[in-house]
Structure 1
């Protein structure tokens, strides 16, 4: 019997092909896209005028502002008589909004006549500031407050701040009656402000020292009462009641010295000689019925 022929089984092993390394294509595509965007920006910068560049820059600094105008006030030098060399960039009691059109989303166009009127109005406020500074040097009533009277031009107009001094407070602790020398100074200011057509806004401020009295009377009520006392003194000095746009108490919500909440300069009376735009905004508060004192910095009626 013949031997059977051997059966040979040949197994073929399939091996997957090696990686072709296509990841570099993704990186290259990203690089090309970035370069395209870069050169597109260079081209746009090259064809834009200086005015357009300034408008674009202003938009990214403050998108809510009108092109070419900042909606926030800048810090200004406080002058003599404060705990800080610079006044903090606070505005009180309101900020005049300058934004974009509600429907179109485009910047509000500026009227050249309005710009000229605004410049003329600013020059008038600067002249009033110089007059008050001269009066501080010559008037016995104001000279006592030489280191406590701070003047600066802000968004709303000319701000006159009378700050407390440790050795010369405007009020006794926790009281709302003005010291005699403070009363004389405010009367002198009232006489000077009456010579201008601008209305004024008055705000009272306290430090963060807790103050509690019966029936929930605290710093809000105290600051409002002190602001109203300042209003009465200005009127006694000759300022017409009709020129009072607003009287508010802000307690310690807008500190002068943020680093020291208990600093005497935080206790102050702020009088803002309103410009035309701010006065128009303040006029919206006239619909509030008289009712005397309110809390949380709301409008006070004259008392």
Structure 2
């Protein structure tokens, strides 16, 4: 009698366990790879931590030697130093001759500023006023900032660069003053004209420092709308009141340079 041929599907069904077994082995291999990777990373972290701690505890001592208690009678104990910084010594007032020399140097600076801004001065846009103790450089806000803003125009950097060219290499104190008109402003950044005028003065100070003027020579002050030079009921007057003024002192002490 002829043996009945086993169907092909039965053979496939009997060998399906090999597929499951291969999948299991693959997953098991992947599991061990992940576990090995994690253990390697932790080992590296522990190694870094160990080296750091060793470096800290084995580093050479940097503190001063402690003072021994009970010094010998013949030796005087070192005096304890005060941690409060001693204020700088008050400088002697400049003599009349020194003041005349600094006033002459101040006039030289005024002449240089007038030369740098010659065209704008002739147009009546910028003004330079001088005395024995001060130079007052008056710049309208329109040359430096947009309306209600304290971000400098692109062209403002060229103007400040000209000012810095005159200021660099000298020690004169400089006070930058910001002014506005009486138009109210109330934004998240500038709740009032106080903040706006102060921010504009500070922006000019930052630009001067960027151009190489020493920051210890500089101060920024905002007056808001309360120091007008013209009436605020006309467009022309409000335009004149919106300004930034640089006061260049004959003296070097910025805190003492109060007009």
For the pair 1:268 / 2:214, whether they are aligned, the reply is no
Measure how far apart 1:183 and its partner are: 2.1
Is the contact made by 1:187 and 1:235 (CA closer than 8 Å) also made in structure 2? no
After TM superposition, the structure 1 = structure 2 runs for residues 1-303 of structure 1, keeping only pairs within 5 Å, are: 114-137=95-118, 147-154=124-131, 156-164=133-141, 168-214=142-188, 217-244=191-218, 246-258=219-231, 260=233, 262-276=237-251, 279=254, 281-282=256-257
- Which consecutive unaligned segments of at least 5 residues does structure 2 have? 1-91
- Tell me if the contact between 1:222 and 1:251 (Cα under 8 Å) persists in the aligned partners: yes
Q: Per-residue displacement from partner, 1:193-222 (whole Å, max 9, x unpaired)?
A: 112221211111101111112487110000
Q: How many Å separate the matches in 2 of 1:175 and 1:265?
A: 17
Answer whether contact 1:150 1:162 (CA < 8 A) is retained: yes
Instruction: Give, in angstroms, the shift of residue 263 of structure 1.
Output: 2.1
Partners of 1:117 and 1:201 in 2: how far apart?
Answer: 22
SS at match of 1:179: coil
> Displacement of 1:125 after TM fit?
0.9
Query: C-alpha offsets along residues 135-163 of structure 1, whole Å, 9 cap, x if unaligned?
Result: 224xxxx7599532211124751111102
Q: TM-score, normalised by structure 2?
A: 0.56
Aligned to 2:165, what secondary structure does the other structure show?
helix
DSSP-derived class of the 2:137 partner: strand
Counterpart of 1:46 in structure 2 is: none
- Structure showing greater radius of gyration is 2
Q: Give the whole-Å Cα distance in 2 for the aligned partners of 1:183 and 1:266.
A: 22
Structure 1 residue 169: deviation in Å?
Answer: 4.5
Conserved? CA contact 1:190–1:236, under 8 Å? no
Deviations 1:208-238 (CA, angstroms, capped at 9, x unpaired)? 1111124871100000000011111112222
- Is contact 1:201–1:272 with CA below 8 Å preserved after alignment? yes
Aligned partners of 1:187 and 1:236 also within 8 Å: no
Structure 1 segments of 4 or more deviating over 6 A?
A: none
Change (3 A) 1:231 1:113: closer
Once residues 225 and 112 of structure 1 are traced to their aligned partners in structure 2, the CA distance between those partners, rounded to angstroms, is 34
Q: Please give the secondary structure, in 1, of the residue aligned with 2:256.
A: helix
| Corresponding pairs, count | 165
Q: Is the 8 A contact 2:173 2:252 kept in 1?
A: no
Structure number with the higher helix fraction is: 2
